[in-house]
Amino acid sequence: MTTATQPRDRARGPRPRPATRSERLRRAARWWPAPALLALFTVPYSALPLPGLLDGPIGGPGNLQLLSLCLLFGGLATGYDLLLGRTGLLSFGHALYFAAGTYVTDILMLEAGLSFTASALLGLLAGVALSALLGAVSLRVGGIGFSMVTLAFAQAASILVQRDPGGVTGGEEGRAAPADRLPASLVGIEHTAHLYWIALAYLVVTLAVVRWAVRSPTGRVWEGIKENERRVEVLGLRPYGFKLIAFVLAGTLAALGGIVYLLLTGGATPRTTTSDFTLSLLVMVVLGGSGTRWGPMIGGILYTWADQRLGDLAGSGTVAALPPVLRVPLSQPLFLLGALFVAVIYLLPGGVARLPARLRSKAPGVR
């Protein structure tokens, strides 16, 4: 009996080793985005208050508007990190493609009378074409020269928008989106939840696209370009083409974000064309952790929340009651935001996303 079973046991091979508890926990941890996404989807139905973080219940219209902007800029920062954190390209003109999606969509609805769907598609194509054209020119130079060329393009576009050629951009006032051209389910305070879900969908799409791109063969070349571009050339690859792909993909995601921004704010404003807007994206990425999976998203959410909430804190009665030596600086939202950013950079080098790894490395018994 024993002899007969031996060949079968050898054919089956050794039994697989049972997974350890730590391995099971790691496997389970891979699925944490699913319950997080479900929780975010149900936010509009929640009446839970978060004192100090939000005013009133989470599902209130005002809070949903703020959370929508947080999700939008979380996705926008994630797309921008394709350049900064994944390919090592410091662009100061990323706001231009965001504004292209916003302004082209708005102008086509107002001037050409097109529907929102058609205008949005053309606005997205405009962002793709513009990023391909300007990227092809900007990437002819490298290093600080590339950054200056992108800044020059952004400044030229900002001046053009503010001068309001032909009255199509609205100048310094911008232009409101025509309510009759927008879907009825996206107009009005009673439909704020729908806008929130659109912002959430944009964040999910951006995270998925960036994750797919980074894990692709092209993404591995981006990593090589960031580490040592000359070594990539020695291997027989042309970095220019790979960098242009990253540039166009990031610009496309930015244009899509601009269309979502148009829906959330109800118009196009020249603020989205300035280099300061791109600098805000840079701060978001550095704050959260450049080159990490979740860092830019975290940075975009935290920065946007702080930008909105610190203004309320600066104008609060608590700050007004402080002595002048404290009241004057604390009454300036930009001072509070800058101080918070400096504190995070000093206390959390590498960004918020790397905090768990730093804590694990300092835990007793961890080498």
User: 236 lies in a domain?
Assistant: yes
Specify the higher pLDDT residue, 190 or 32: 190
pLDDT at 1: 46
pLDDT at 27: 64
Average pLDDT over residues 270-293: 89
Give this prediction's pTM: 0.87
Q: At what angle do helices 95-107 and 144-163 cross, to 10 degrees?
A: 30
User: 351 lies in a domain?
Assistant: no
User: 342 lies in a domain?
Assistant: no
CA dist 65 and 182 (Å) reads 18
User: 110 lies in a domain?
Assistant: yes
User: 128 lies in a domain?
Assistant: yes
CA dist 188 and 181 (Å) reads 13
User: 344 lies in a domain?
Assistant: no
Q: Which domain holds residue 99?
A: 61-273
Q: How many domains does the chain have?
A: 1
pLDDT at 273: 87
Is the model's pLDDT at 16 over the cut of 70?
A: no
Please give the mean pLDDT across all residues of the chain. Answer: 86
Q: With bands split at pLDDT 50, 70 and 90, how would you rate the model's confidence at 341?
A: confident
What CA–CA distances, in Å, run from 130 to 53, 116, 117, 189, 222?
38, 20, 20, 34, 22
pLDDT tens across 164-221, in order? 888 899 988 889 999 889 988 888 888 899 999 999 999 999 999 999 999 999 999 9
Average pLDDT over residues 104-130: 95
Is the model's pLDDT at 367 over the cut of 50?
A: no
pLDDT tens across 62-101, in order? 899 999 999 999 999 999 999 999 999 999 999 999 999 9
Tracing tokens 């790691």 back to the chain, one arrives at 26
Q: Which residues contact 192 (CB under 8 A, 6 or more apart)?
A: 44, 61, 64, 65, 68
User: 187 lies in a domain?
Assistant: yes
Q: With bands split at pLDDT 50, 70 and 90, how would you rate the model's confidence at 4?
A: low
User: 343 lies in a domain?
Assistant: no
Is the model's pLDDT at 38 over the cut of 90?
A: no
What CA–CA distances, in Å, run from 105 to 13, 100, 120, 124, 173?
62, 8, 5, 8, 17
pLDDT at 13: 52
